[in-house]
Amino acid sequence: MLRHIMGVFLTMPAFGSLAPGLSQQREHRAAARLRRLNELAQLSSRSSAQQREHDGLMSRGETYNADNHSATHKRFKADHNHCFVTLARLANPEAPVFYLDGPDGASTAALRRSGFGTEQLFTASLFESTRDALAAPPHALRHATLGRAEEELARPHLSSTPFAAYYLDLCSGQPAPLVAMVEAIFHQRRRRIGASRVAIGFTLTRAEPSARSLGDRELAVLRAIATGCRALGYAPPVHVADEPALYGLPTSLSKEEGGTLTTWVWCARDVVDLDTLLRPHGEGTRTYLDSSSYAGTYARGLRHGLGVVGERNLVKSSTTIICNPI
């Protein structure tokens, strides 16, 4: 009996973390509640019964609870906060960033540790308790708004802010809210003031009852990003996880854990304001690249101190690159 009890004790998860199965069950229940809230929000009008359902779901508070995560999932979330911070600094360490954070403020803390100031940090929350937690010490955010992120991003104040990075960590299986956020990110107001380099990360979960696969739902968001890039004069988005080391990220970076998928893409202007390029080409070197090579070479250049002038040849599907020292 004692041996059996000791065996059970030794196989229990570490204090402060949940077993993976229990963790996923709780996350799926929370995602289901958020999914239903999203469905109700998309209705043009609600019946009295639907309004009561909405109010009841909202009264239960924040759907995201980091305490429900397994130790493995906590590491996964920390890795992607590091990815967010790294890409934001590469894009422009002085520019503002927009992200979705939980009441624990994990993303906020990661940004602060990396040197981002309070005035650079913008977030929105559907739940008042989370907004209040992020606005209060120790996080003390000044730009923590209450509302749906897709609606807040479309408002004049935020749609005219040149954010350099976005982390849309919605923790839902539905692509529609993410697509709406992406459309707000690439609002026409940003045509003149949009950042020359933008990193976008988003999260989807498998907790989705529809017949659409996780891959198809990810594709819906990626296509919205590609459409936005084309509309605002960016090159086709580059998948960061294809070559994470080029962005200063570990090659061990994982896209999926415990039913949660996190995807990062890099968007850059392809006609003007191409600020950096790979140093080995050398000062004054003229390099001809096809469209696919251009994206990868531009990404590699982020880690080197060269300025560049780029000329896209749409007929030949190539780009002429001239390197100059910054």
- Name the segment(s) of the chain with CATH classification 3.40.50.150: 66-268
User: What is 66-268's CATH superfamily?
Assistant: Vaccinia Virus protein VP39 (3.40.50.150)
Which SS3 state, helix, strand or coil, does residue 15 take? coil
The parts of the chain modelled with pLDDT lower than 70 are 1-43, 54-55, 57-69, 171, 270-326
Per-residue pLDDT tens for 8-32? 333 334 444 445 555 556 666 666 6
Per-residue pLDDT tens for 183-198? 999 988 887 777 889 9
Count other Cβ atoms within 10 Å, centred on residue 161: 19
Q: Is the peptide bond before 138 cis (omega within 30 degrees of 0)?
A: yes
* pLDDT attached to residue 279: 35
* pLDDT attached to residue 191: 78
Burial classification of residue 243, based on how many CB atoms lie within 10 Å of its CB (0-12 exposed, 13-18 middle, 19 or more buried):
middle
Helices (H), the chain: 2-11, 20-41, 48-59, 71-91, 106-113, 128-135, 149-154, 156-159, 175-185, 190-193, 214-231, 291-301
Enumerate residues 6+ apart whose C-beta is below 8 A from 277: 297, 298, 301, 304, 306, 307, 308, 321, 323
C-alpha span between 241 and 196 (Å, rounded): 21
